[in-house]
Chain A
Amino acid sequence: MTDLALGRPAADRDRLLRLLQNYGVYLGVAVLLLVNIAFTPHFLSGENFRTQAVQVAPVLVVALGMALAIGSEGVDLSVGSVMALSTSLVSLYLGYGMWVALVVALLGGMVVGLANGSLIAFIGVQPIVATLALMVAGRGLALVLLPQLKNVRDPTMASLGSGDLLGVPYLVLIATALALLVAFVVRRTTFGRQLLAIGDSRPAALLAGLPVRRVLIVVYVVCGALAALAGVLATARLSASDPTSLGNLMELSAITAVVVGGTPLSGGRVRIGGTVAGAVLIQLLTATLIKHDLPPSWTQIAQAVVIVLAVYAARERGKR
């Protein structure tokens, strides 16, 4: 109601808010970098940057899939469980070689995505609920397959986890390549346009004759596959499969990265650059608090505050 009284100052404030919404995440990353350079000892070292980047990679891979789901006005709460499922599958099939294990893990994630997508696209279940069911069942399934932590000793996995190409870790290369690919798909392909149209208004997309169901299914299958890949990457980095804790609260981190990066929860827009910066921001925030000996509990509270602030800044103004 107050938006009706749009004077000039209000319009200026709106423009500023929109700028903050779109580019605030880069500002946040810059501020955190400066703070760390100024106050954190040994922050400016190649070793430290490498550690931070390698830790961001799995989160970013999950967040890319999440960005697609959120862009279609949905959400995928099952990603953490899919990572757990994927790490269990990797351990079980590693005996047949790493590539077999990778394919099986990805297939597992895609099956979960297919189930999510079918519930959403064909039966019309809300995305939160549809993916909630597999969030519960997925981790259970992961624990049924692999009841406890298991060390992974495979040379190919080890080199995937810790190797690099010209000094850039494989994990970072993979995450970057995927980010570029997803950005290309969203911006330049028919699928990307259809996805955004569906996120903008599903009834309108249906009336326009877009293949709504097919696009939604593909979105959740891709989201599942990316989460499964993130599970493999995390397994390679840790050299262990831990279905109990791997991917815990990952849905939260991924949603935060996407939303902090300027993608609105109401769908219709996807910002991949922002999502990358969002993932980096969360990682830097956590690292900063830990490096300055603040207890982990503070990190959680800080992350919660950042989420609420970001969503507040990104909320659709005037949309009820």
Chain B
Amino acid sequence: MTIDTKSPADPVDHTAQQEQVAGPSRSERLSALAQQHGALVTLIVAVVAASVGFDTFMTADNMENMAVSSAFLAVVALGMTFVIVTGGIDLSVGSLFALGGVLAAWGSQYGTAVALLLPLAVCGLIGLVNGLLIARARLAPFIVTLAAMLAARGILLSVTDEGSKTYLVDKDSFFATLGQGKVLGVGAPVWITVALFVAGAVVLRRTRFGQYVYAVGGNEDAAALMGAPVARTKIAVYTVSGLCAGLAGALNAAWLVSGVTILGSGMELEAISAVVIGGTLLTGGFGFISGSLVGVLLLKVIQNVINQIGSLDSAYQQVVSGAFLAVVVIAQTWLGRRRRVL
């Protein structure tokens, strides 16, 4: 797939060069547009169809509920976007989400600062170890993070007496307000998520670190030759992903006012799906933060619609999500291949 059999004198290559000088062709622009905004268009279509089809969809309660439940996945997907743009993958986020939630609920008895800092410290540390093993020891990201997923689940079980103990958050504490409070009628987790996404987008688009993330994902060797700190960038993105998953878990615990141990399984798949649906390439080097948010919303709207069709159970959500992921990946590969060939 990756061989380049064209010689420099090849006429096809020649036209390609000419086109590059003249700017991207129309079909190139169209496929780039489809890649960037396909998810957004699909989301709008899905929302319109759902509000026409179900009276219960466009209600304030349903919207609020969807927004808050999207918020937690969105924070996880934010960290995942950084990882995937470097061409990596993080399968440990579901476990870290659950671990973060339990640690936050346990820590909340010592105050809000502990409830937030403890999960961030532990999950950030696990993310850091992931990054070190991937960047310094050069192990495959999916295997390292798969091991971390197992280990984090083990730590979680150890902390909760093999899963039998549930820690509760005091309903009147400030920490619970972080999850349950409302500002201007919208849940606090939604505001926190929006702020994190703005910060994430600025970091990825406007900072030197963001440039390094794209460079490492585009071509690692070239990035190293350019003087980008490849290993440090990779370590940073896995740490960010761990921090995001831990924070999302903590916020979720504040929302549920308890640390639920069984949460988060399969969340890594949801997060990866959301990022990929949002237009970020799994091969790395190309992607947007905003796309991941659209991807999360699209997944949640689909789940919501399936829930509204009362006769379909949650198993269908998995079938539809999986099929949707496959369709998006196929479309992406086609669009991406077209771009590379031209």
Chain A contact residues, CB within 8 Å of chain B: 75, 115, 119, 123-126, 128-130, 132-144, 147, 202-203, 206-207, 249, 252, 255, 259, 265, 295-301, 303-305, 307-308, 311-312, 315, 319-320
Residue numbers in A under 8 Å from B316 (CB-CB): 140, 144
User: Which of B158, B221, B315, B317 has the most chain A CB within a 10 Å cutoff?
Assistant: B315
Contact residue range for chain B?
35 or more
For residue B184, CB closer than 8 A to chain A, the reply is no
- In the complex, what distance in Å separates the CA atom of A147 from the CA atom of B312? 12
Residue of A nearest to B146 (CB): A252
Main secondary structure, interface of B, reads: helix
Our pick among A125, A265, A298 for the contact of B143 (Cβ within 8 Å) is: A265
For residue B329, CB closer than 8 A to chain A, the reply is yes
- In the complex, what distance in Å separates the CA atom of A296 from the CA atom of B155? 10
Residue of A nearest to B319 (CB): A140
Residue of A nearest to B328 (CB): A133
- In the complex, what distance in Å separates the CA atom of A147 from the CA atom of B316? 11
B319-A141 in contact (CB<8A) = yes
- In the complex, what distance in Å separates the CA atom of A15 from the CA atom of B250? 48
Our pick among B139, B273, B320 for the contact of A315 (Cβ within 8 Å) is: B139
Q: How far is the CB of B101 from chain A (nearest CB, A)?
A: 16
For residue B60, CB closer than 8 A to chain A, the reply is no
B321-A129 in contact (CB<8A) = no
Q: How far is the CB of A180 from chain B (nearest CB, A)?
A: 28
Our pick among B89, B137, B138, B326 for the contact of A137 (Cβ within 8 Å) is: B326
B330-A304 in contact (CB<8A) = no
Our pick among A134, A298, A299, A303 for the contact of B322 (Cβ within 8 Å) is: A134
If A133-B329, A134-B326, A305-B151 are given as contacts, then 9 extra A-B residue pairs at C-beta distance below 8 Å, sorted by A number, are A126-B282, A126-B283, A130-B329, A136-B269, A137-B322, A137-B323, A297-B157, A308-B143, A319-B138
Residue numbers in A under 8 Å from B283 (CB-CB): 126
B142-A128 in contact (CB<8A) = yes
User: Which of A134, A136, A142 has the most chain B CB within a 10 Å cutoff?
Assistant: A136
Q: List 28 A-B contacts (CB under 8 A).
A: A75-B142, A119-B329, A123-B334, A124-B1, A125-B329, A125-B330, A128-B142, A129-B329, A132-B272, A133-B322, A136-B273, A137-B323, A137-B325, A143-B313, A144-B313, A249-B150, A265-B140, A296-B162, A297-B162, A300-B153, A301-B151, A304-B147, A307-B147, A308-B139, A312-B133, A315-B137, A315-B138, A320-B220
Residue numbers in B under 8 Å from A308 (CB-CB): 133, 139, 143-144, 147
Q: Which 6 A-B pairs have the closest CB atoms?
A: A137-B322, A140-B318, A300-B154, A297-B157, A143-B315, A136-B322
- In the complex, what distance in Å separates the CA atom of A75 from the CA atom of B142? 10
- In the complex, what distance in Å separates the CA atom of A296 from the CA atom of B220? 39
Residue of A nearest to B315 (CB): A143
Residue of B nearest to A253 (CB): B150
Residue numbers in B under 8 Å from A203 (CB-CB): 1-3
Residue numbers in B under 8 Å from A305 (CB-CB): 147, 151
B158-A295 in contact (CB<8A) = yes
For residue B80, CB closer than 8 A to chain A, the reply is no
For residue B148, CB closer than 8 A to chain A, the reply is yes
Q: How far is the CB of A60 from chain B (nearest CB, A)?
A: 19
- In the complex, what distance in Å separates the CA atom of A137 from the CA atom of B321? 7
A125-B333 in contact (CB<8A) = yes
For residue B229, CB closer than 8 A to chain A, the reply is no
Q: How far is the CB of A86 from chain B (nearest CB, A)?
A: 16
- In the complex, what distance in Å separates the CA atom of A128 from the CA atom of B138? 18
Q: How far is the CB of B157 from chain A (nearest CB, A)?
A: 3
B150-A303 in contact (CB<8A) = yes
For residue B111, CB closer than 8 A to chain A, the reply is no
Q: How far is the CB of B309 from chain A (nearest CB, A)?
A: 14
Q: How far is the CB of B145 from chain A (nearest CB, A)?
A: 10
- In the complex, what distance in Å separates the CA atom of A301 from the CA atom of B313? 34
Residue numbers in A under 8 Å from B208 (CB-CB): none
Our pick among A124, A135, A304 for the contact of B148 (Cβ within 8 Å) is: A304
Residue numbers in A under 8 Å from B2 (CB-CB): 202-203
Residue numbers in A under 8 Å from B140 (CB-CB): 265, 311
